[in-house]
Amino acid sequence: MRARSRLLRLALPLLAAVLAAACGRVGKDQEAVINRRLEGEPRALNPLLATSDPENVVLALLSRNLLDYDEKLNLVPGLAASVESDPAHLVYTVKLRPGETWEDGSPVTADDVAYTLQAIVDPKTPALYRKSLFDAMEKAEVVDPLTARVTFSRPSVGQRDAFNLPLLPAKLYRGTDLTSNPRNRRPLANGPFRLADWEPGRLLRLVRNTQYFGERPAAEQVVFRVVPETASAFPSFRSGGLDEMRLTAALKAEVDASGGRQRSLVYDELAYTYIAWNNRLPFFDDARTRRALTMLIDRETIARTLYGGLARPANGPVPPGLWSHDASLPPWPYDPAKAAALLDEAGWRKGPDGLRSRAGKRFAFTLSIGAGSERQRQIVELVQRAYRDAGIEMDVRPMEWGAFTTAVDAGDYEACSLALNLDPNPDLAPNFRSTAVPPEGMNHMFYRDPKADALMDEIATTFDREKARALYAELQRVIHEDEPITFLHFVSVSWGVSDRIHHVETSPLGLFLFWPGGAGWTSGRGTAPL
């Protein structure tokens, strides 16, 4: 008995050492994991088909672009060492950096460049955002394994920016239906991480890509957790289950007051929030009606109360962070009386029941929104109340994020509310040119104006910055008068980040959509489970 006790006394310190070492390994493993929030689940991870933030923030870690933007919005080498044009701005030569590989070890080549560009302009490819950026492309040729030549029929001042573009592996996509290729759910990475697991509706787990040609990321894993509801995400963030999330004004105040485990960051985005009106419908086919719908919304009060002062009414589609922004253009004011007069002029008159109708048809429509945002819900409720007071009936339809973005991209809605994040190229054609309507582009509100089209065409070939600035000012005034969508707010974004996450940089593109963005984050201390 004593001998057995002696053996136990000898074994206990050894057992404690083993457990301590194991716990140390677990802690280190946890420290190497960054838990990020997705506000909606990606529909697919094909960079040509991506149109929403949940898709793009995941792809930013899986795929390098030919050219990247840095945090100051400068174009810097990515997969391409250089992208240079001839003096006429018609022929662009893309030179890839040697040694780049896909995650399976095969090289990234000029054939991937040529295939990707040819796929973009293929009429069968719904590359809604990118198609208009390459609509003048005549051909993309392979010069040698590391060099591609791209020829355009006309010059465009923003053409080099369009090469801020991820690639598809030609060997896995050529000859297939790009929209249904199984690799859309199992992408082949050439970025710092690769996709290890995708649990639908729950999470996407990324691990280091051992074949990545660049500097190895500090994190071993990035786990994207799909948490659409802010009310569910914030307790997890506070307990350590999530390392980052977007904050409302109230949540920012709570984080700032608590100190310790989390901090808040604020930055101005190249973005605006808006309500889109389907201009094809009789409710929204008159600019007077659309202006009235904007003037019924008290955007100043919304900015002050729901955004905590971190927003201001938008005056159009160009945010202040872009050189082309026209600060002299005043936003439409909050003026219910003037709005009522405009509705009367457009034929939408009140009946004895206080509701507006025209030619026997009630002014009643449905606003579709992506479920999850508490602030958006509050804004929509205020808008709904204002419209009801003006004699307009607006139902609200919350939708699962994937279904919502599918409907928006197809223009299959009456009205919808969302935000648009822009890149540093101020080209408005992908969203406002009459040829960019679905399925060819992202003009999902079906806005058509010959004068706006002509201005966008002229801007595209105006290389003098001051001349272009004047043209942009004129274009913004045309769109302002037409008000094809209600431009709600330019927003300063508040983001919560765990104190265990370091090297977090902000930019007008946010925290993630520039280089290195989230790929440069490092982590300390362990995390709690979600």
Per-residue pLDDT tens digits for 46-64: 999 998 889 999 999 999 9
Work out the angle at residue 397's Cα, subtended by the Cα atoms of residues 272 and 233, and round it to the nearest 5 degrees. Answer: 65
Q: Which residue has the higher pLDDT, 426 or 265?
A: 265
Strand-pairing partners, residue 243, are: none
Q: Strand 33-38 vs strand 221-226: parallel, antiparallel, or unpaired?
A: parallel
Which whole-number Å values give the CA distances from 27 to 216, 477, 493, 499, 526, in the listed order? 21, 57, 32, 16, 5
- What's the confidence (pLDDT) of residue 30? 56
Query: What are the residues whose beta carbons fall under 8 Å from the beta carbon of 414, sequence distance 6 or more?
Result: 278, 281, 283, 365, 366, 367, 368
Task: Determine the 3-state secondary structure of 75 from DSSP.
Answer: strand
Q: Which two tokens stand for residue 104?
A: 């399976």
Q: Which of 51, 152, 44 is nearest to 431 (CA)?
A: 51
The yes-or-no verdict on residue 26 having pLDDT over 50 is no
- What's the confidence (pLDDT) of residue 25? 37
Q: Which of 221, 369, 375, 368 is nearest to 308 (CA)?
A: 375
Q: How far is CA 419 from the centre of its chain?
A: 8
- Residue pLDDT, tens place only, 266-283: 999 899 999 999 999 999
**Residue given tokens 């004011």 in the structure block:** 333
401 phi, psi to nearest 5 deg = -55, -45
Torsion (CA) 408, 413, 415, 419 in degrees, nearest 10: -10
| Average pLDDT value for the chain | 91
Buried b (16+ CB within 10 A) or exposed e, 167-203: bbbbebbeeeebeebebbeebbbbbbbbbeebeeeeb
**pLDDT confidence tier of residue 402, bands split at 50, 70 and 90:** confident
CB atoms within 10 A of CB 79: 25
Helix 287-295 and helix 465-482, axial crossing angle in degrees, nearest 10? 90
- What's the confidence (pLDDT) of residue 425? 85
Using H for helix, E for strand and C for coil, what is the string for 6-66? HHHHHHHHHHHHHHHHHHHHHHHHHHCEEEEEECCCCCCCCCCCCCCHHHHHHHHHHCCCC
Report the range of poorest mean pLDDT among 284-288, 300-304, 424-428, 512-516. Answer: 424-428
CB contact at 8 A, 78 and 69: no
The percentage of residues in the chain with a pLDDT greater than 90, rounded to a whole number, is 85
Domain 271-491 matching CATH 3.90.660.10: the answer reads no
C-alpha span between 129 and 153 (Å, rounded): 20
- What's the confidence (pLDDT) of residue 525? 55
The yes-or-no verdict on residue 362 having pLDDT over 50 is yes
Give me the helices (H) in 222-312, please. Answer: 230-239, 249-258, 287-295, 299-305
**pLDDT confidence tier of residue 18, bands split at 50, 70 and 90:** very low
Q: Which two tokens stand for residue 167?
A: 């690639």
The amino acid sitting at 122 is D
- What's the confidence (pLDDT) of residue 125? 94
C-alpha span between 383 and 377 (Å, rounded): 10
- What's the confidence (pLDDT) of residue 421? 85
283 phi, psi to nearest 5 deg = -65, -35
The yes-or-no verdict on residue 245 having pLDDT over 70 is yes
Residue 259, burial from CB neighbour count under 10 angstroms (0-12, 13-18, 19+) = exposed
The yes-or-no verdict on residue 13 having pLDDT over 50 is no
**pLDDT confidence tier of residue 524, bands split at 50, 70 and 90:** confident
Q: What share of the chain is helix, strand, coil (3-state, %, to 5)?
A: 35, 25, 40
What is the pTM for the complete model shown? Answer: 0.81
Q: Which two tokens stand for residue 238?
A: 């506070």
Residue 483, burial from CB neighbour count under 10 angstroms (0-12, 13-18, 19+) = buried
**pLDDT confidence tier of residue 17, bands split at 50, 70 and 90:** very low
Quickly list DSSP for 328-391: TSPPPP--HHHHHHHHHHTT-EE-TTS-EEETTEE-EEEEEEETT-HHHHHHHHHHHHHHHHTT
Which whole-number Å values give the CA distances from 195 to 45, 207, 418, in the listed order? 10, 7, 28
CB atoms within 10 A of CB 528: 12
The amino acid sitting at 274 is Y
**Residue given tokens 């894993």 in the structure block:** 221
Buried b (16+ CB within 10 A) or exposed e, 428-438: bbbbbbbebbb
- Residue pLDDT, tens place only, 127-171: 988 998 999 999 999 999 999 999 999 999 999 999 999 999 999
Report the range of poorest mean pLDDT among 307-321, 377-391, 420-434. Answer: 420-434
Domain 68-181 matching CATH 3.90.76.10: the answer reads yes
CB contact at 8 A, 382 and 367: no
Which whole-number Å values give the CA distances from 62 to 46, 193, 211, 323, 492, in the listed order? 11, 5, 12, 30, 27
Q: How far is CA 302 from the centre of its chain?
A: 23
CA R_g for the chain: 26
Sequence ranges of the domains in the chain: 33-42+185-262+496-523, 68-181, 271-491
Quickly list DSSP for 442-488: S-TT----HHHHHHHHHHHT---HHHHHHHHHHHHHHHHHH-SEEEE
CATH class of 33-42+185-262+496-523: alpha beta
- Residue pLDDT, tens place only, 284-296: 999 999 999 999 9
